[in-house]
Each structure stands twice: as C-alpha cells, then as structure tokens.
Structure 1
Amino acid sequence: MSNVSVEYTTTEPLIDTLNLIQINMGRYLYPFIFSLGNIGCILNILLLTQRVYLQNSCSCYILASSITNLFIVNINILFHMLSFGFGIDPTTTSLYFCRFRQYFSHVTMLLSRIYIVLACIDRWAMTSTSVKLRSYSKVNVAKIIIPSVAIVWFTISLHIPLHHFIVNGRCMVILRDYSIFYNIYNTVLSGFLIPIVMIIFGFLIMRHVKLSRKHVNPRLTRNPILVNQQQVKVNVKSREYEILIMILVQLAVYLITCLPFPMYLLYATVTISWIKSNVQLALDRFYSNITVALNNINFSVTFYIYILTTRVFRKDLKRLFVENRLFKTYFGSRWTTTPLKTNNGTIGTIVVSMNQQNLASIQCRR
C-alpha cells in the first residue's frame, strides 16, 4: 500500500502537468498556428495565381501544395484546436466526422508533401543539361500531374475511413493488425520515402546548378553584345533559381518539423503490445501531440519561408498589394500612371490624381 501511495503522489502531478500543457497548446498555440496558416496560405495563393508564376511549372506545384495546406489549416488544425483547447470534438460523437477527418487529413497532408517532391523533381529537370529532361518541366505537364496525383491518393487511401470507429468516446482503429499496418504505412511514406526522395533530388539540383555554371562560355566576356544578351538571360532565370532556393529551404524545414511524427509512429508500433502505466500512457500522448503540433506548424509557415528566402517573391508581393490591387481598389479610377522620360533617357512613371469632373471639363475644353 505504501508503494501505491508513493506512486500516486509522485506521478499524479506529472500527469496533471502534461494535461495542462496540452490544454494550453490548444487554447494558445493552435489559434496562433491557425491564424498564421490562413494568412500565409491565402497570400501564397494570391501571389502564385499571378500570370508570371502560372507560366512556371514549379510554381504550379507549389500553388497546389498551398491550396492543400489551406484545407489542412481549416480542417485538421481547426479540429485539433477545438479538441485540445476547448473540449469540442465532433469526431467523438459522429462516426461520419470521425472517418472524414482521418481520411481527409491523411490525404491532404500527404498530397502537400508530394507536391513539394514534384516541385523538387521539376527543378531537377529544369536545371538538367538534357533537352529531354527539360521538356518535362512544363506547365502543361504540371496541369496533368497535379489532379492525377490527387485522384490516385484519394483512391489508395479509401481503406482509412473503413477501419476507424468510435470506441469509448475516441475515434480510433479497432483492429490491432490494421493499426500496425497503418503506422508502418505512414512511417514509410512520411518518414522515409518522401524525405529520401527530397534529399536525393535536392543534391541532384545543386549538382546540376554547379555544372551549368562551369559551362558558361568565357568568350562572352570579350563581346559586349554577347555579355548583354547573357545578362538578360540571367535576369530571366533569376526567378527560376530563387524558386529553387525556396524548395531547398522548405525541404530543410520539412525534415525538422515532420520527421518526429513518423518516429513516434514507429515507436507506437514497436510498443503496441507492451503493458504501460498511466504515466507512460500520458507521456506517450504528450509526445504524440507535440509531434502533431510540429507537423501542423510545417503546413502553416510555408509562405513565411518563401518571404524570408526569396527576394523576387517579396518584390512580387509588394507589387501585387501596393502597386496593383490594393492601390487601385482603394483609389479606384481616380489614379492613373503616366510614363515620364528623364534627361538620362530612363523611363519612369508619375501618378496623376484626377476625379471624374475634372476629366470631363478637360474633355469639353478640347
């Protein structure tokens, strides 16, 4: 009896502390992730739907990933926020929500990662010296691959909702064999296959870039006309290579934030038949929720990764919201731009403010 009482007094505060931390995560951390993710995904989509980005195949894959992330934020992250922080979880009372959440969350998180893998493969093909490989880096190819991949994985993952049921107020898998299969399936895809493919093509991309720099013709430096032509080509490709930097940085963030979750699934599979104490179960739940939170953060910060790592992305965002849409939306037809030629021959623009009455009076005078 003395051992039991000591066990209770030393472990109960630990369980309460872990539960309190998870509640505070739901009330404070997840609303922050939810807001950050919505703002970032919407801005990302607005920018990547501009014509200059829609003409780039890699941008199409990133756009598809951003749209998928928006669904993840507003379904998966929202459910976690309501469940952990406020005790509202429709998946514990509705079998439909239980199966829908598990199915849709799994597929969307997987698709978001696969689209980034496809973006890496696309950049590898674009930087290749092979004409045949570069032919795959086209918008028309991306428009076929993006919906095809979604259809394939939504079909393959149909086994997930069929094996989830509500037991004792929890949405969970009943069959032990399927639970082992599902953990291994998730671990192989998210923990090994996708990161390995990303790393391989990341190294191949950097190798192609180094080789392309070595093949620069040194005779161009002797001819000013050729130098100017080469400079124009470099300026045109600057956006391509900055998109490449975005992909490589996102790969690093993915490895940091997403790998702990497959590691937990591997641990859960190995220890599925172990008899665990209440403390160990609480620690397992706590570690699981921490890895899930890191996983969710990855889908919310992609836009901010692009902003911090890409100069062209920042310029295009400023042009979109300051010079084009927000500026014109606020001032409407009162503002127009007029070209202005300076003394040194450069072309600039001046902003002319004019209301409709002044414009009509000027036309009458003419």
Structure 2
Amino acid sequence: MSVDGLIKNIFSRYCLIGLFILGIVGLILNTLIFTRKTFRQNSCVHYFLASTIANYFVVFFILPSRIFSDGYDLDPGQYNLFYCKIRFYTYFTAKSLSSWFIVLACFDRKMSSSLNVHRRAFARPYISRWMIFITTCIVLIFYCHVLMFYEIDDTKE
C-alpha cells in the first residue's frame, strides 16, 4: 500500500468516525431545537429543519459508505450498479438540498425584515413549506441524470 493510500485509510477509519459521531450529536440537537412548539410558526425554522433532514441522509447513508469504502475497502458500489447510482444520487441531492435550504432561510429573513408589506408576506410558514417542496422537487429532477447515466468504472488508478 502506498503512503497516500495509508493516509487515506487512517483518515477514513479514525477521522471520519469522529465526524460521524459529531454529526449525529449535531443533528439530534438541531432536531430537538427546531421541533420545539415555540418555533413551529417561524418560517425560517422550517428551512433549517429541512436542511437538518437532508443532512441526516448525508450522515447516516453517505458517511458510513465512505468510511467502509475508503477505510476498510468494503465498497458495494464497485460491484452493485444500483447501489452505486443510489449512493451518488443521494449524496448530490442531499448536499444540494441542504445548501439550498440555508439560502432560502437567508432569503426568508431578508423578506421578513423588509419595510414593504408585500415582501414581508413571503416570510410565512405555509410559503416556506411550499418553497421546501418545490426546491426538493427541482433538485430531485435536476440530479436524475445520475440515476440514468452513472456507471461503475473498474479501472484502478
């Protein structure tokens, strides 16, 4: 094994497991905070909760598969085309959705602090739910090419 391979292996075994544990703690704390009754009518919290849900997919699906593939050379994505496609589709959509929901939360705060009453009307919980739904649909459609065109490449570097 080369030095680069050894470093990658050690990083995946130890550092990514630490990130996995910290990710779980952070997601649980986010969920506990954003699901409180006092925040349910705040439209911005809906975006943060949606971002947290998208990050659950990253932490519980993508990160363990990365730990197993890089740290222990156990990668079903090398042999199973369906798993390979689903893994990358989930990765791209979850990371993209998480980022877009933060952008929408920023936009929501901008609209809620506007002097214009019509712009402030944008910062309502039912609008945030629709924006989350629309954004999710767009991102899922945008990355559907991964499900169709990704293939397993058996060539090693």
Q: With the length of structure 1 as denominator, give the TM-score of the two structures.
A: 0.42
Gaps of 5+ in 1: 1-14, 171-280, 282-366
Please state if 1:69 is matched with 2:55. yes
1:99 aligns with one of 58, 71, 85: 85
Q: CA deviation at 1:109?
A: 0.5
Aligned to 2:133: 147
Gaps of 5+ in 2: none
Q: CA deviation at 1:169?
A: 6.4
| Length, aligned pairs only | 157
Please state if 1:17 is matched with 2:19. no
What are the residue-to-residue correspondences of 1:187-266 with 2, within 5 Å?
none
Cα distance in 2, alignment partners of residues 167 and 60 from structure 1: 40
Cα distance in 2, alignment partners of residues 18 and 156 from structure 1: 35
Higher gyration radius (CA): 1
State the SS of the aligned residue for 2:151.
Answer: strand
Structure number with the higher strand fraction is 1
Would the aligned equivalents of 1:30 and 1:77 in 2 still touch at CA under 8 Å?
Answer: yes
Cα distance in 2, alignment partners of residues 20 and 153 from structure 1: 36
State the SS of the aligned residue for 1:88.
Answer: coil
Would the aligned equivalents of 2:51 and 2:99 in 1 still touch at CA under 8 Å?
Answer: yes
Aligned to 1:112: 98
Please state if 1:54 is matched with 2:50. no
1:152 partner letter: I
Aligned-residue sequence identity (percent) comes to 31
Cα distance in 2, alignment partners of residues 25 and 34 from structure 1: 13
Cα distance in 1, alignment partners of residues 6 and 153 from structure 2: 24
2:11 partner letter: M
| Cα deviation 1:227-261 (Å, max 9, x = unaligned) | xxxxxxxxxxxxxxxxxxxxxxxxxxxxxxxxxxx
Cα distance in 1, alignment partners of residues 75 and 57 from structure 2: 18
Displacement over 4 Å in runs of 4+: none
Aligned to 1:37: 23
Q: With the length of structure 2 as denominator, give the TM-score of the two structures.
A: 0.95
CA RMSD for the aligned pairs?
Answer: 1.5
Cα distance in 1, alignment partners of residues 68 and 119 from structure 2: 47
Would the aligned equivalents of 1:93 and 1:169 in 2 still touch at CA under 8 Å?
Answer: no
